[in-house]
Homo-oligomer: A and B are copies of this chain.
Amino acid sequence: MSETKCVYLFREGNATMKGLLGGKGANLCEMTNIGLPVPAGFTITTESCNEYSKTGEWPAGLWEQTLSALADVEKDMGKKLGDAANPLLISVRSGAKFSMPGMMDTVLNLGLNEETLKGIVAATGNERFAYDAYRRFLMMFSDIVLSEDFPKLKKHSFEVIFDKLKEQKGAKVDTEVDAEGLKKLCEQYKVYFKEAAGRDFPTDPKEQLKLAITAVFKSWNNERAVIYRNRERIAHDLGTAVNIQAMVFGNMGDDCGTGVAFTRNAATGDNKLFGEFLKNAQGEDVVAGVRTPEPIDQLENEFPDIYNEFAAIAQRLEDHYREMQDIEFTIEKGRLFILQCRAGKRTGVAAVKIAVEMVGEGRITKEEALTRVPPEALEQLLNPRIKNTGNAKPIATGMNAGPGGASGKVALDSKTAIAMAAAGDTVILVRKETNPDDLGGMLASKGVLTQLGGRTSHAALVARQYGIPTICGCGALKIDDAARSFTVNGVTVKEGEVVTIDGTLGLVYNVELGTEPATMTGDFGTFMGWADEYRKLGVRANADTPEHAADAIKLGGEGIGLCRTEHMFLGSERVPFVRNMILAENETVRDEALAKLLPMQRADFVGIFKVMGGRPVTVRLIDPPLHEFLPGLVELEVEVCKMECANPNDPALAEKKKLLAAVHDMHEQNPMLGLRGCRLSIYFPGIVKMQVAAIIGAACEVKKSGMDVHPEIMIPLISTVNELTYIKAQLEEVAKATMAAEGVEVDYMFGTMIEIPRAALTADEIAKEAQFFSFGTNDLTQMGYGISRDDAGKFLPLYIEKQIFKNDPTETIDQKGIGRLMQICVEDARKVNPTIKLGICGEHGGEPDSVKFCHKLGLNYVSCSPRRIPVARLAAAQAVIEEMGKGVQRDK
Name A residues whose Cβ lies closer than 8 Å to a Cβ of B: 633-634, 637-638, 641-642, 644-645, 668-675, 679, 682-683, 717, 719-720, 722-723, 726, 755-758, 761-762, 765, 779, 782-788, 790-792, 794-795, 798-799, 802-805, 814, 816-818, 820-821
How far is B293's CA from A680's CA once the two chains are assembled, in angstroms? Answer: 51
Supposing A637-B637, A757-B783 touch, asked if A788 and B726 sit within 8 A by C-beta, the answer is no
- For residue A781, which residue of chain B has the nearest CB? B758
Chain B residues within 8 Å of A794, by CB = 675, 683
The answer on a CB contact under 8 Å between B761 and A817 is yes
The docked-state distance in angstroms from the alpha carbon of A805 to that of B816 is 30
Asked if A795 and B675 sit within 8 Å, CB to CB, the answer is yes
| CA of A192 to CA of B484, assembled, Å | 80
Complex contacts, A765 vs chain B, CB 8 Å: 816
Which B residues lie within 8 Å of A782 (CB)? Answer: 673
Would you give 26 A-B contacts (Cβ < 8 Å), ordered by A?
A637-B637, A638-B638, A638-B641, A641-B642, A668-B788, A668-B790, A669-B791, A670-B671, A670-B672, A670-B791, A672-B673, A672-B786, A672-B788, A674-B788, A683-B794, A683-B795, A717-B786, A755-B786, A756-B784, A757-B785, A757-B821, A758-B786, A758-B818, A762-B816, A762-B817, A783-B784
Do A804 and B761 form a contact, CB below 8 Å, given A673-B787, A788-B674? no
Give the distance to chain B from A793, nearest Cβ to Cβ, in Å.
Answer: 9
Q: Is the CB of B817 within 8 A of A758?
A: yes
CB nearest to A726 among chain B residues: B804
Contacts of A784 in B (CB 8 A): 756-758, 761, 783
Stoichiometry, copies per complex: 2
Inter-chain contacts of A669 with B (CB < 8 A) = 671-672, 788, 790-791
Beta-carbon contact of A804 and B720 below 8 Å: yes
> Given the complex, which residues of B lie within 8 Å of A633, measured CB to CB?
634
Complex interface: chain B residues within 8 A of A671 (CB): 669-670, 791
Q: For the complex, give the distance between the alpha carbons of A846 and B200 in Å.
A: 73
Closest CB in chain B relative to A236 CB, distance in Å: 12
Complex contact A719–B758 (CB within 8 A):
no
Given contacts A783-B757, A803-B722, contact A673 B788 (CB under 8 A): yes
Inter-subunit contact B679/A795 (CB<8 Å): yes
Q: Pick the contact of A779 from B682, B786, B816 — CB < 8 Å? A: B786
- Report yes or no: A791 in contact with B682, Cβ–Cβ below 8 A: no
- 20 more contacts with CB within 8 A, not counting A668-B791, A722-B803, are A669-B788, A669-B791, A672-B786, A673-B673, A673-B783, A673-B791, A675-B795, A682-B795, A683-B795, A719-B786, A720-B804, A723-B804, A757-B786, A757-B821, A758-B818, A761-B784, A761-B820, A761-B821, A762-B820, A779-B786
A750 → B minimal CB distance (Å) = 17
- A798–B761 touching, CB < 8 Å: no
CA distance A799 to B719 in the complex (A): 12
| Distance, CA A668 to CA B668, complexed state (A) | 12
> Please, how many angstroms separate the alpha-carbon atoms of A564 and B798 in the complex?
27
A844 to chain B, nearest CB (A): 15
Please give, as numbers and ranges, the residues of chain B lying within 8 Å of A786 by CB-CB distance. Answer: 672-673, 717, 719, 755-758, 779, 783
Q: How far is the CB of A423 from chain B (nearest CB, A)?
A: 31
Contact B682 A804 (CB under 8 A): yes
Residues of B close to A679: CB separation below 8 A: 795
Contacts of A814 in B (CB 8 A): 758
Measured between beta carbons, the chain B residues less than 8 angstroms from A816 are: 761-762, 765
CA distance in complex: A816, B762 (Å): 7
A634 is contacted by which of B634, B672, B787 (Cβ under 8 Å)? B634
- Tell me whether chain A's interface is mostly helix, strand or loop, or mixed: helix
Q: How far is the CB of A716 from chain B (nearest CB, A)?
A: 11
| Contact, CB under 8 Å: A675 / B641 | no
Interface centre among A722, A791, A795, A820 (most CB of B within 10 A): A791
What CA separation (Å) do A249 and B782 show in the bound complex? 67
- Tell me which of B670, B717, B799 contacts A790 (CB under 8 A): B670
Closest partner residue, chain B, to A672 (CB atom): B670
How many angstroms from the CA of A670 to the CA of B782 in the assembled complex? Answer: 11
Closest to A673 in B: B788
What residues of chain B lie closer than 8 Å to A803, measured between beta carbons?
722
User: Which residues of the other chain, B, contact A634 by a CB distance below 8 angstroms?
Assistant: 633-634, 637
Across the two chains, which residue of chain B brings its CB closest to A758?
B817
Give min CB distance, A809 to chain B, whole Å. 9
In the assembly, what is the distance between CA of A814 and CA of B719, in Å? Answer: 12
Indicate if the CB atoms of B758 and A785 lie closer than 8 Å. Answer: yes
Q: How far is the CA of A645 from the CA of B791 in the complex (A)?
A: 32
| A875 CA / B645 CA spacing, docked (Å) | 59
Chain B residues with CB under 8 A of A755: 786
Q: A641-B641, A786-B717, A799-B682 are in contact. Are A804 and B722 (CB under 8 A)?
A: yes
Rounded to whole angstroms, the CA-CA distance of A830 and B726 in the bound complex is 39
Give, as a whole number of angstroms, the nearest-CB distance from A883 to chain B: 25
Whether B785 lies near A722 (C-beta < 8 A) is: no
Give the docked Cα–Cα distance between A807 and B816 (Å). Answer: 31
B682 contacts A802, C-beta separation under 8 Å: yes
Within the complex, the shortest CB–CB distance from A136 to chain B, in Å, comes to 41
Q: How far is the CA of A675 from the CA of B672 in the complex (A)?
A: 15
Contact B756 A722 (CB under 8 A): no
Shortest beta-carbon contacts, A-B, top 6: A645-B645, A673-B788, A674-B791, A758-B817, A670-B788, A641-B641
Which residues of the partner chain B approach A683 to less than 8 Å between Cβ atoms? 794-795, 798
Separation of A790 and B672 alpha carbons in the complex (Å): 12
How many Å lie between the Cα of A788 and that of B668 in the bound state? 9
Question: How many angstroms from the CA of A755 to the CA of B782 in the assembled complex?
Answer: 14
**Smallest CB separation, A551 vs chain B (Å):** 30
> Which of A674, A792, A816 lies at the interface centre, i.e. has the most chain B CB atoms within 10 A of its CB?
A674
The interface residues of chain B lying within 8 Å CB-to-CB of A792 are 674
Q: How far is the CA of A722 from the CA of B816 in the complex (A)?
A: 13
**In the complex the two chains form, what is the Cα distance from A682 to B797 in whole Å?**
12
CA distance A717 to B788 in the complex (A): 13
> Residues of B contacting A798 with CB < 8 Å?
682-683
Q: How far is the CB of A461 from chain B (nearest CB, A)?
A: 14
Residues of B close to A641: CB separation below 8 A: 637-638, 641-642, 645
Most buried by B among A670, A722, A786, A821: A786
A670 partner residues in chain B, CB cutoff 8 A: 670-673, 788, 790-791
A802 engages B726 (CB within 8 Å)? yes
Set of chain B residues within 8 Å of A644, measured between Cβ atoms: 645
Closest to A818 in B: B758
Q: How far is the CB of A478 from chain B (nearest CB, A)?
A: 10
In Å, the complex CA distance between A723 and B672 comes to 24
Q: How far is the CA of A674 from the CA of B453 in the complex (A)?
A: 12
Chain B's nearest CB lies how many Å from the CB of A454? 13
Please, how many angstroms separate the alpha-carbon atoms of A788 and B671 in the complex?
8
CA–CA, A669 to B670, complex, Å? 7
Q: Name the distance in Å between A726's Cβ and chain B's nearest Cβ.
A: 6
With a cutoff of 8 Å between Cβ atoms, the chain B residues found around residue A785 in the complex are 719, 756-758
Contact indicator A805/B720 (Cβ below 8 Å): yes
**A787 to chain B: which residues have CB within 8 Å?**
673, 719
Closest-CB distance, A825 to chain B (whole angstroms): 12
A682–B801 CA distance with the chains assembled, in angstroms: 12
Most B CB atoms within 10 A — which of A637, A672, A673, A790?
A673
- Report the Cα distance A431→B351, complex, angstroms: 64
- How many angstroms from the CA of A886 to the CA of B521 in the assembled complex? 79
Complex CA distance for A870 and B735, rounded to whole angstroms: 54
Using Cβ atoms and an 8 Å threshold, which residues of chain B touch A719?
785-787, 817
Residues of B within 8 A of A638 (CB): 637-638, 641
A671 to chain B, nearest CB (A): 7
Chain B minimum-CB-distance residue to A433: B669
Assembled-state Cα–Cα distance A420/B788 (Å):
41
Name the CB-closest residue of B to A779.
B786
A721 nearest CB neighbor, chain B only:
B804
Nearest-Cβ distance from residue A264 to partner chain B, whole angstroms: 42
Q: Are A791 and B675 in contact (CB-based, < 8 A)?
A: yes
Closest to A435 in B: B669
Nearest-Cβ distance from residue A68 to partner chain B, whole angstroms: 41
Residues of B within 8 A of A817 (CB): 719-720, 757-758, 761-762
